[in-house]
Amino acid sequence: MPHLEIADLSASYEKGVDVLSGIDLQVERGEILSLIGPSGSGKSTLLRVIVGLLPPDSGRMVVDGTPVNFHDKRSLRDLRGRCAIVFQQYNLFQNMNVMRNVTIAPTKIKKRAAASVRAEAEALLEKVGLGDKHDAYPDELSGGQQQRVAIARALALKPEILLLDEVTSALDPELVNEVLDAVRVLAGEGMTMVVVSHEMGFVREVSTRVAMMDEGRIVETGTPEEIFDRPSAGRTRDFVAKILRG
């Protein structure tokens, strides 16, 4: 049974203008699936649907054998309890320091004991290399540091599925690697991940499978070798050629 299964799913921000159409996707447990494709192809939108921020217009999504009802609060809560997303713009809470950003959802929303949450948060921040920044506020941190806090915050939710939405796109080039290193550590731990990225070297290195998207559709899926070395769809060939050349 796939960990995440999406069938014939369409979604739009405005009625009649499909941003996603007829998406079919299966992600196995422990798999790292990367979504690649040109800007506006619907990659980030697909992540927003998966985490329940955008209800799809049609289609099915099944997580761990349970169908998701996007119009039922309890079903959505359950979905968001299993998934966590890291946004391109980090989206850290500006009014909270690093520690509070990481601990607020586990303590206030999941109602877990503060002491154990804090201990976990300390370990997570250590893991992303920010063990000395507990009391810093987001506007005192570099983009790379903020993004690593965002990753720690997502992990503090103990998600089964981690969604990464262009986590390095907003960063200065010299900060990209510190974030990718943090993700590499996770990739080695067997967590199911869906990753949107323009860092093709990184995608190739960590992904177990790659899906190429264009104009709201999945054009082709395959192993990184298949997609990058022997793409079958014309669209994929063009995109990969352009990216690798650039």
Partner 1 sequence: MIERIVDEIPRFFTWYNTIFFLQAMGVTLALTLIGCGLGSIFGFALVYGRQTRGRLFTPVRVLIVGYVEIFRRIPFLVLLFIVLFTTEGFGVRVSFFGIALIAICVISTAYISEIIRAGFEAIHRNQWDAAEAMNFGRVATLRYVIMPQAWKVILPPAFAYFVMFIKDTALASQMGVLELTRVAKIFNDRGYSAFLTFGTCLLLYFILSYPLTRFGQRLERRLASSRNR
Residues of this chain that interact with partner 1 (CB under 8 A) are 51-53, 77, 80-81, 83-85, 87, 89, 91-95, 104-105, 108-110, 137, 139, 157
What phi and psi, each to the nearest 5 degrees, are found at residue 139? -75, 0
Shortest distance, CB of residue 234 to partner 1, whole angstroms?
35
Q: Which is nearer to partner 1, 21 or 88 (CB)?
A: 88
Shortest distance, CB of residue 78 to partner 1, whole angstroms?
9
Q: Which is nearer to partner 1, 24 or 78 (CB)?
A: 78
Distance of alpha carbon 222 from alpha carbon 224, whole angstroms: 6
Distance of CA 198 to the CA centre of its chain: 13
Strands 4-14 and 58-63: antiparallel
Distance of alpha carbon 219 from alpha carbon 236, whole angstroms: 7
Shortest distance, CB of residue 151 to partner 1, whole angstroms?
13
Q: Which is nearer to partner 1, 71 or 245 (CB)?
A: 71
Distance of alpha carbon 234 from alpha carbon 58, whole angstroms: 28
Shortest distance, CB of residue 21 to partner 1, whole angstroms?
23
Cβ neighbours of residue 136 closer than 8 Å, sequence gap 6 or more: 97, 98, 145
Q: Which is nearer to partner 1, 6 or 162 (CB)?
A: 162
